[in-house]
Amino acid sequence: MLAYFLRRVMIAIPTIILISMFVFSLQHLLPGDPLLVLAGEERDPETLEFLREKYRLNDPIPVQYLAWVWNALQGDLGTSFRTNQPVTELIAEKLPVTLQLAIMSLIFALAIGIPAGIISAYKKGTVTDWAANVVALSGLSIPNFWLGIMLILLVSVKWQLLPASGYVPPGEDLWQSIRTMLMPAFVLGTALAATLMRHTRSSMLGVLTSDYVRTARAKGLSERVVVLKHAFRNALTPIVTLTALLFGELVAGAVLTEQIFTIPGFGKLVVDAVFNRDYAVVQGIVLVTAVGFIVMNLLADMAYMLLNPRLREA
Amino acid sequence: MFRPFPKRSRAHRGGPGTQARFPKCRVSWPDAQISGVCRARYAWGIDSPFGRADQFEIGSREGETLSNTAPLLSLKDFRLRFRGQDACTIDRIDLEVARGEVLCVVGESGCGKSVTAMALMGLLPEGAAEIPSGTLSFEGLDYDLTRERLPADLRGGAMAMIFQEPMTSLNPVFRIGDQIAETVLRHRGGTRAEAETRALDMLRRVGLPSPEARLRSYPHQLSGGQRQRVMIAMALANDPKLLIADEPTTALDVTIQAQILELIRDLQHEAGTGTIMITHDLGVVAEIADAVAVMYGGQVVETGPVAQVFDDPQHPYTIGLMESVPRLSGAGGRLTTIDGAVPAIEAMPEGCRFRTRCAFAAPACAARPALRDVGSGHATACHFAPLEAHLRVAG
pLDDT at residue B94 greater than cutoff 70: yes
Contact between residue B176 and residue B215 where contact means Cβ atoms under 8 Å apart: yes
CA end-to-end distance (rounded Å), chain B: 77
CB contact under 8 A, B153 and A220: yes
- Using a CB-CB cut-off of 8 Å, the residues of chain B touching A240 are none
Across chain B, where does the E strand assignment appear?
73-82, 90-97, 102-106, 129-138, 141-144, 159-162, 242-246, 274-279, 291-296, 299-305, 372-373, 379-380
Contact between residue A163 and residue A276 where contact means Cβ atoms under 8 Å apart: no
- Using a CB-CB cut-off of 8 Å, the residues of chain A touching B169 are 211-212, 214-215
pLDDT at residue B361 greater than cutoff 50: yes
Contact between residue B273 and residue B243 where contact means Cβ atoms under 8 Å apart: yes
ipTM: 0.81
Q: What is the dihedral of CA A238, A244, A245, A249, to 10 degrees?
A: 150
Kind of pairing between the strands at B291-296 and B102-106: parallel
Instruction: Enumerate residues 45 to 64 of chain B having a beta carbon within 8 A of any beta carbon in chain A.
Output: none
CB contact under 8 A, A227 and B5: yes
More confident residue, B37 or A134: A134
Interface probe with B: pick from A200, A215, A230, most Cβ of B within 10 Å: A215
User: Model pTM?
Assistant: 0.80
Provide the number of CB pairs (under 8 Å) joining chain A to chain B: 82
pLDDT at residue B392 greater than cutoff 80: no
- Using a CB-CB cut-off of 8 Å, the residues of chain B touching A218 are 121, 123, 155-156, 160-161, 163
8-state DSSP, B42 = -
The answer to whether B36 contacts chain A (CB < 8 Å) is no
Q: Which of B5, B165, B183 is closest, CB to CB, to A211? A: B165
The residue of chain B with its CA nearest to that of A232 is B173
- Using a CB-CB cut-off of 8 Å, the residues of chain A touching B156 are 218-221
The residue of chain B with its CA nearest to that of A305 is B173
- d(CA A78, CA A56) in angstroms, rounded, equals 11
CB contact under 8 A, B5 and A221: no
Going by pLDDT thresholds of 50, 70 and 90, the confidence category of residue B69 is low
- Using a CB-CB cut-off of 8 Å, the residues of chain A touching B171 are 212, 215-216, 230, 233-234
Contact between residue B183 and residue B234 where contact means Cβ atoms under 8 Å apart: yes
Which of A246, A228, A212 shows the shortest CA–CA distance to A117? A228
φ/ψ of residue B129, rounded to 5 = -145, 155
> Which helix H or strand E contains A237, and what residues bound it?
helix A232-253
- Specify the pLDDT at position B332: 63
pLDDT at residue B64 greater than cutoff 60: no
- d(CA A115, CA A196) in angstroms, rounded, equals 10
The answer to whether B70 contacts chain A (CB < 8 Å) is no
The answer to whether B154 contacts chain A (CB < 8 Å) is yes
Name the least confident of B3-7, B29-33, B300-304. B29-33
How many Cβ atoms are within 10 Å of A309's Cβ, its own excluded? 17
Report the percentage of chain B scoring pLDDT > 70.
79
Interface probe with B: pick from A219, A307, A310, most Cβ of B within 10 Å: A219
The residue of chain A with its CA nearest to that of B237 is A219
Going by pLDDT thresholds of 50, 70 and 90, the confidence category of residue B36 is very low
**Residues ≥6 apart with Cβ < 8 Å to B214:** B176, B177, B203, B208, B222, B226, B230
- d(CA B168, CA A213) in angstroms, rounded, equals 10
- d(CA B322, CA B138) in angstroms, rounded, equals 32
Burial class of B181 by CB neighbour count within 10 A (0 to 12, 13 to 18, 19+): buried
The residue of chain A with its CA nearest to that of B232 is A215
Give the type of residue at B370: A
- Specify the pLDDT at position B98: 94
pLDDT at residue B386 greater than cutoff 80: no
- Specify the pLDDT at position B264: 93
| Tens of pLDDT, residues B180-231 | 999 999 999 999 999 999 999 999 999 999 999 999 999 999 999 999 999 9
Instruction: Enumerate residues 174 to 203 of chain B having a beta carbon within 8 A of any beta carbon in chain A.
Output: 174, 182-183, 186-187
- Specify the pLDDT at position B26: 36
CB contact under 8 A, B155 and A220: yes
Which of A85, A86, A98 shows the shortest CA–CA distance to A266? A98
- Specify the pLDDT at position A39: 66
| Tens of pLDDT, residues A47-64 | 778 877 777 777 888 888
Cis peptide preceding B349, ω within 30 of 0:
no
The residue of chain B with its CA nearest to that of A128 is B4
More confident residue, B234 or B38: B234
Q: What is the pLDDT along chain A (314 residues), one digit of tens a residue?
A: 778 888 888 888 898 899 889 888 877 776 666 667 666 666 778 877 887 777 777 788 888 889 888 988 898 888 887 888 899 999 998 889 989 999 999 999 999 999 999 999 999 989 999 999 998 888 888 888 899 999 999 999 999 889 888 888 888 889 999 999 999 999 999 889 999 999 999 999 999 999 999 999 999 999 999 999 999 999 998 899 899 988 888 877 678 888 888 888 888 888 888 888 888 888 888 888 888 888 888 888 888 888 888 877 65
- Using a CB-CB cut-off of 8 Å, the residues of chain A touching B187 are 220
Q: Which of A212, A215, A222 is closest, CB to CB, to B8? A: A222
Going by pLDDT thresholds of 50, 70 and 90, the confidence category of residue B72 is very high
- Specify the pLDDT at position A127: 94
| Tens of pLDDT, residues B224-253 | 999 999 999 999 999 999 999 999 998 888
Highest mean pLDDT pick, A76-85, B264-273, B323-332: B264-273
- Specify the pLDDT at position A222: 94
- Specify the pLDDT at position B34: 34
**Cα Rg of chain B (Å, integer):** 22
- Using a CB-CB cut-off of 8 Å, the residues of chain B touching A118 are 4
φ/ψ of residue B124, rounded to 5 = -70, 140
pLDDT at residue B268 greater than cutoff 90: yes
CB contact under 8 A, A212 and B168: yes
> Which helix H or strand E contains B10, and what residues bound it?
none
| Overall average pLDDT of the B174-184 stretch | 96
How many Cβ atoms are within 10 Å of B85's Cβ, its own excluded? 13
Please report, for residues B25, B56, B69, B70, the alpha-carbon distance to residue B140 in angstroms, rounded to integers and kept in the order given.
Answer: 11, 9, 11, 8
More confident residue, B389 or B363: B363
The answer to whether B4 contacts chain A (CB < 8 Å) is yes
Q: Which of B5, B152, B170 is closest, CB to CB, to A212? A: B170
- d(CA B123, CA B117) in angstroms, rounded, equals 9
- Using a CB-CB cut-off of 8 Å, the residues of chain B touching A233 are 171, 173-174
pLDDT at residue B8 greater than cutoff 70: no
- d(CA B69, CA B55) in angstroms, rounded, equals 7
Q: Which of A218, A227, A234 is closest, CB to CB, to B123? A: A218
Contact between residue A241 and residue A93 where contact means Cβ atoms under 8 Å apart: no
- Using a CB-CB cut-off of 8 Å, the residues of chain B touching A234 are 171-173
B293 backbone φψ class: left, alpha, beta (φ>0; ψ -120 to 50)? beta
pLDDT at residue B43 greater than cutoff 60: no
Helical packing angle, A87-122 and A232-253, nearest 10°:
150
How close A298 comes to chain B (CA, Å)? 21
Going by pLDDT thresholds of 50, 70 and 90, the confidence category of residue B59 is very low
Going by pLDDT thresholds of 50, 70 and 90, the confidence category of residue B17 is very low
DSSP secondary structure of B79-123 = EEEETT-SS-SEEEEEEEE-TT-EEEEE--TTSSHHHHHHHHHT-
- Specify the pLDDT at position B197: 95
- Specify the pLDDT at position B49: 34
